[in-house]
Amino acid sequence: MEKIELSDKEKEVIKKQLNGEITQFSATPEERTLLMGVISKAEALLDELDDYDNMGDDLIQWFWGKYQSQK
């Protein structure tokens, strides 16, 4: 697994989504674009690691956990 790289804006939108401050439908266009990029990265990592059994119900939360664990 390569190191997960996230911009400050991507980290901000992940935190907002995890805290329930935004959803796909309430996000601004910029936030929506950032979220879609994060989801693409998360899906690629999930496929690479074949970690479907450990993902749980929230792809973003799983991805954030992987990001946090590499620090």
Q: Where are the domains of the chain?
A: 8-69
Read off the tokens for 11: 């980290």
CA distance 44 to 40: 6
CA distance 36 to 42: 10
Give me the pLDDT at residue 25, please.
85
Residue 1 pLDDT > 80: no
Q: How many CA atoms lie within 13 A of 56 on its CB side?
A: 9
pTM for the full predicted model: 0.90
Residue 23 pLDDT > 90: no
Q: How many other CB atoms sit within 10 Å of the CB of residue 42?
A: 22
Whole-number Cα distances in Å, 31 to 8, 27, 53, 69? 12, 5, 28, 24
Give me the pLDDT at residue 69, please.
94
In the chain, the percentage of residues whose pLDDT exceeds 90 is 89
